[in-house]
Amino acid sequence: MKKLLAALLVLAACKSVPYTNRKALLLVSASEEAALGESEYKNALSQAKVSTDAAANAQLQRVGARLAKAADKPDYKWEFTLLDDPKMINAWCLPGGKVAVYTGILPVTKDDDGLAVVLGHEIAHALARHGSERMSQGLLAQLGGAALSTAMASKPAATQQLAQQAYGVGANVGVLLPFSRGQESEADRIGLIIMSKAGYDPEASVGFWERMSQAAGGSNTSPLDKYLRTHPPDDQRIEDIRKWIPEAKGHARR
């Protein structure tokens, strides 16, 4: 009976990801996910240096606002913060719309379209609820099917504890949630749609990822590396993006 209840719970928790319609397992509620995201966002910012660059901050807020509007998720409390670290070529997003961008990535983004590629990708993680999906996968793996229905009844305390473990927060590293290669690819695809809806050119994504590859020392070509990386290999990523650009343009703002 417990196995049957657990199976029914898993089926009930499967939701469709926006735009791709992929079925995702979401055992963590949106409210719990957002609360955790806000808490970890404050914690991460307390350990980082927020940039005081007026021009760069203005650009981030301008592009972020347009993309957040295009995301059409009014229940999210979108925040965009620029962190001062010229050596960190990165950005991240937490559930509920909490986005951080490091100054080190700005020379790679170059302009508003390039920054829209980065923010669109991060916003896509939030829209697809990849954080909740990763936590749900962690819950399922740790609890096992037979104990799932019992453990879920103890939320939110148990969820909070396991969610913390799933996140493995490390603000000094700049990667708060290690998404899978599949989720990264999905975020690329959805991000292109969001930036196109916001009036930015999805074609700019190709140039951005080429520059990112150069900044990282070139595309990784080791066969083993293709399986170990959490992000898609650079050449594969760019090839996929080229295929998705026509779809994104179909969502362009009229």
Q: Is 184 helix (H, G, I), strand (E, B) or coil?
A: helix
Give the number of residues written for the chain.
254
229 backbone dihedrals φ, ψ, rounded to 5°: -70, 145
Torsion sign (Cα): 226, 139, 176, 195? positive
**Amino acid residing at 90:** N
Q: Do the strands 79-83 and 98-102 form a parallel or antiparallel pair, or are they unpaired?
A: parallel
Report the half-sphere exposure of 70 (CA within 13 A, side-chain side).
27
Tell me how far CA of residue 136 lies from CA of 49, 97, 123, in angstroms: 32, 19, 20
Active-site residue set = 122
Tokens read off for 199: 């009036």
- What are the two backbone dihedrals, phi and then psi, of residue 130, each rounded to the nearest 5 degrees? -65, -30
Cα 227 to Cα 104, 143, 220, 237, distances in angstroms: 27, 26, 11, 14
- Bridge partner residues of 79 (DSSP): 98
Do β-strands 14-16 and 79-83 pair in parallel, antiparallel, or remain unpaired? Answer: unpaired
Q: Are 90 and 118 in contact (CB under 8 A)?
A: no
3-state secondary structure of 17: coil
